[in-house]
Structure 1
Amino acid sequence: MTDRPAADAPAAPPAPRRLLGVRVAAWVEIALFFVAVLAIDALLLDGDRFWDVRPHPFWLIVILVAVQYGANASLVAALTASLALTVGNLPVPELGADVFQYWAGIGLRPALWVGVGQILGQMRDRELAERTRLQTRLSLLEHQNQLIANGFEELKRTKSALEARIARQFRTVITTYRAAQSMDVTDEARLSRGLDQLIQSVLSPQKYSLWTLAPDGFVLERAVGWQEDDHFERRLDLGHPVVRHLLAREPALCAARPMDERKLMGQGLLAGALTDLDSGEIVGMLKVEETAFLDFNLYTLENFNVICSWIAAARMRARRWQQLQADRLTGANDLLMTAEVSERIYALLVQLGRRKGFSSSQLIVRPVDPDALAPEQHSILALALGEAARATFRSTDLAFEREADDAEYAILLPGTPLDDAELLGSKLRQAMAGHLPPSVPLDQILIEARPIEETAPAPAPSGGGSA
């Protein structure tokens, strides 16, 4: 939080310049007054300094200075007036006059000037002191009010920041939950989208990259946010400090630590191995090249480690699922065997046919326009074909998935000539008619009879008749 000038203590107003405890302005006014008055008396009047004038003009400066500047200034004015009146201007005493009365008459007016000036000056000093005290208190109150206002504004900003942070964290929780759902898949493309959502929601990086582990080091798999002028490496060989560090199963690298920064060599802010916690296998690396300053903290590093473990577990789960799918004998509906199994059986039938001297055929079942079928219609076609094949063919005739994405299937007919296969194709069409709903018209389904060749089950030119 930055300091603000308004929160500082109020500066005291500059003190007026003083000479011998009296403001300079008072000295100037007194001097100008007596110069002007004495000049008028000397040039225009009798030059007796207004001795017989009642009230005396010098009362004016004494009272004005007392009311304006206080007791000290009034004392200066009274003394100056006394000197200006008496120095070189004493009247000649009369013969037989009492000396006491003579000096009492001369000193009366100076005594009155001093006395009245001090009374008025003390009243003025008390008023000035009270005004100064009130001004000081007012300044303090204004300062306190400013502090309260600043504190209130700071509290409002803090409240808004906390509300925004809570809202952002709430959105992050929702986004992370959705990203976790999207990661709970076995398809590589959908898993990649889920990984991006998870990384963005938890770490909020501006630039990051995912790497795979190859025999010679880490190879860039996907980069997000990289620009053309970025000079990040696309491959890190086994001799790179980052690779040596991560393959030694050390903690994630963080550029905030000087030792880690030297190992990163300007290639990013965070780098961590994607390690499966169950098997300990390293499947790749996650690297963050750029992020916002406020998002680069201790919590980010902790979240980064969790994300690395999460990604590794998701990838290992997807790989195991794909391996299981490759080893499956039947497809999703358990009525049709997988294309991987059909390759082995094709090769076996070709070898047996050459050795025993018999021929085998196959029926290819596919829609006229595969793109016109919705995903659920593909499933309906596979289910109808499996039920029809089970009711129509022998136990030795096997139904396989041929091209799952295009809803293309094959039925292997061991020891069946091509002519007999065409007849069986007609029976299969009749059987499928009882299992297909109106949403999948039978006239949009092609059934072709083909011989089994050496290159089977790769797609071949149409051979044989159409049932």
Structure 2
Amino acid sequence: MSDKKVPTNPPLRAVALFEICIFLGAASLLDLTLFDGDRFRHVEPHPFWAVVILISVHYGSRLGVLAAIASSAFFLIGNIPARLLEQDLHEWVILTFKLPLLWFVSAVFIGEVSARRIRAHQLLSEELRQSKGRESALIISLKGVNAIKERLEVRIAGQWSTVRKTLTSAKEIEHMEPERALQQSLALVANMLQPEKFSVYLIEGNSLVFAFSQGWGKEEELFQQFTSEMALFSAVVGERRTVCISRPKDELILGKQGVLAGPLINPDTDELIGMLKIEKTSFSQLSIGALINFEFLCEWIASIYAKSHEYKISNSPVPDVKQVGQGRG
């Protein structure tokens, strides 16, 4: 059972008062025009029973008692019979007030029985309303879950496509020239991080020198070199850490040069070869997952660049010793 409280009696309703007045008024008019004008004293059953019972059944004991009071008033006011000589007081009182007393008792009894039905109906209505509310909430939640599921499916499909492209590109890049491998790695950055503008810098002495970029227009100016005196060089090369604009101290280091920057470090030799810097991307891409992917790409690009160097050296032609000796002779 619900703990929802239901009123023990239904509230007074204007329509019930209107019904009582209309019924009693019509009955009195009918009594004056078609009957003897004695308020149906000798009619059995008395017509006023109808309004008392109907109001008690439909609205409960409170309005039922009100109907009994109104009926008694219409029945008795100006219509109390004179006491006969042969009647004692007790008999006269019973005959005079018997009907009003029965109306009161019936109104209370019938009204209370009806009030239970009314309370049960109100309770069921409230439980039904709450059930519909829970059903609506469940439907809304289900729609939300379905929407999330669809977004996840699209995201997973996109991530799988990205992984597939990454693996395909990785196999091709390992056998390219170092500069070509570095340039092709930009496609992997675009697939995984989806930035609007980004660039790669290589370490040359005490400077980070621009090498490749993507997303920049011909008329747009891109910073070409970061020297050792600059804060970004110190953070990326000196401290060897990733700099992100979402961190207050890193925002000052980046200035207006980008939103994310990280060192390209070969994981096998711990050699720092340069920097990957993202100049422009959507806010949704600056998540923790995107930062992890960025650091992975920095390490991966450095590894690919180093392997392409090894591949270039291993495939370089070795001079023939005999030919070298003959040339000297």
Whether TM-score is above 0.5 comes out as yes
Alignment-derived partner of residue 70 in structure 1 = 60
Alignment-derived partner of residue 122 in structure 1 = 112
Please tell me the root mean square deviation across aligned C-alpha atoms, in Å: 3.9
Aligned counterparts of 1:204 and 1:263: Cα–Cα separation in 2 = 23
Query: Using a 3 Å threshold, how does the CA distance of structure 1 residues 239 and 190 change in structure 2: closer, same or farther?
Result: closer
The question of 1:253 aligning with 2:243 is answered: yes
Tell me the alpha carbon deviations over residues 196-249 of structure 1, each in whole angstroms, 9 at most, x when there is no partner. 232234333333222233557434333323468978645445443212222313
SS in 1 for 2:298: helix
The question of 1:136 aligning with 2:126 is answered: yes
- Aligned mate of 2:291, from 297, 301, 318: 301
Q: How many residue pairs end up in the alignment?
A: 322
Letter in 2 for 1:271: A
Alignment-derived partner of residue 430 in structure 1 = none
Aligned counterparts of 1:252 and 1:317: Cα–Cα separation in 2 = 23
Aligned counterparts of 1:229 and 1:66: Cα–Cα separation in 2 = 90
Letter in 2 for 1:301: L
Aligned counterparts of 1:263 and 1:223: Cα–Cα separation in 2 = 21
Tell me the alpha carbon deviations over residues 271-293 of structure 1, each in whole angstroms, 9 at most, x when there is no partner. 01223345554332111233444
Aligned counterparts of 1:43 and 1:233: Cα–Cα separation in 2 = 109
Question: Equivalent residues in 2 for 1:52-71 (5 A)?
Answer: 52-71=42-61
Aligned counterparts of 1:62 and 1:229: Cα–Cα separation in 2 = 94
Native 8 Å contact 1:182 1:190 kept in 2: no
- Aligned mate of 2:72, from 69, 74, 82: 82
Gaps of 5+ in 1: 1-11, 342-394, 397-467
Letter in 2 for 1:68: H
SS in 2 for 1:271: strand
Letter in 2 for 1:114: F
Aligned counterparts of 1:75 and 1:229: Cα–Cα separation in 2 = 93
Tell me the alpha carbon deviations over residues 59-86 of structure 1, each in whole angstroms, 9 at most, x when there is no partner. 2321221222122211110112112221
Alignment-derived partner of residue 194 in structure 2 = 204
Native 8 Å contact 1:213 1:283 kept in 2: yes
Alignment-derived partner of residue 422 in structure 1 = none
Query: Using a 3 Å threshold, how does the CA distance of structure 1 residues 188 and 276 change in structure 2: closer, same or farther?
Result: closer
Native 8 Å contact 2:201 2:211 kept in 1: yes
Alignment-derived partner of residue 99 in structure 1 = 89
Displacement, 1:304? 1.8
Aligned counterparts of 1:255 and 1:37: Cα–Cα separation in 2 = 88
Question: Equivalent residues in 2 for 1:327-366 (5 A)?
Answer: 328-329=318-319
Alignment-derived partner of residue 304 in structure 2 = 314
Native 8 Å contact 1:183 1:195 kept in 2: yes
Aligned counterparts of 2:115 and 2:196: Cα–Cα separation in 1 = 70
Letter in 1 for 2:167: Y
Native 8 Å contact 2:177 2:309 kept in 1: no
Structure whose CA Rg is larger:
1
Aligned counterparts of 2:35 and 2:268: Cα–Cα separation in 1 = 120
Native 8 Å contact 2:245 2:259 kept in 1: yes
Aligned counterparts of 2:257 and 2:26: Cα–Cα separation in 1 = 87
Alignment-derived partner of residue 412 in structure 1 = none
Gaps of 5+ in 2: none
Question: Equivalent residues in 2 for 1:18-417 (5 A)?
Answer: 21-35=11-25, 37-38=27-28, 48-188=38-178, 190-214=180-204, 217-226=207-216, 233-277=223-267, 280-319=270-309, 328-329=318-319
Letter in 1 for 2:15: A
Letter in 2 for 1:315: Y
Q: What TM-score do you get using the length of structure 2 for normalisation?
A: 0.78
Query: Using a 3 Å threshold, how does the CA distance of structure 1 residues 30 and 182 change in structure 2: closer, same or farther?
Result: same
Query: Using a 3 Å threshold, how does the CA distance of structure 1 residues 60 and 223 change in structure 2: closer, same or farther?
Result: same
Letter in 2 for 1:274: L
SS in 1 for 2:212: strand
Native 8 Å contact 2:198 2:280 kept in 1: yes
Native 8 Å contact 2:58 2:114 kept in 1: yes
Aligned counterparts of 2:218 and 2:80: Cα–Cα separation in 1 = 104
SS in 1 for 2:196: strand
Displacement, 1:126? 2.5
Query: Using a 3 Å threshold, how does the CA distance of structure 1 residues 321 and 152 change in structure 2: closer, same or farther?
Result: closer
Displacement, 1:261? 1.8
State the identity as a percent. 28
SS in 2 for 1:27: helix
Native 8 Å contact 2:208 2:274 kept in 1: yes
Native 8 Å contact 1:182 1:193 kept in 2: no
Aligned counterparts of 2:219 and 2:315: Cα–Cα separation in 1 = 43
Query: Which of 1 and 2 has higher RCO (CA within 8 Å, sep 6+)?
Result: 2
Query: Using a 3 Å threshold, how does the CA distance of structure 1 residues 280 and 155 change in structure 2: closer, same or farther?
Result: closer
Aligned counterparts of 1:137 and 1:125: Cα–Cα separation in 2 = 18
Letter in 2 for 1:264: L
Aligned counterparts of 2:95 and 2:314: Cα–Cα separation in 1 = 132
Native 8 Å contact 1:186 1:317 kept in 2: no
SS in 2 for 1:94: coil
Query: Using a 3 Å threshold, how does the CA distance of structure 1 residues 38 and 237 change in structure 2: closer, same or farther?
Result: farther
SS in 1 for 2:203: strand
Aligned counterparts of 1:239 and 1:25: Cα–Cα separation in 2 = 89
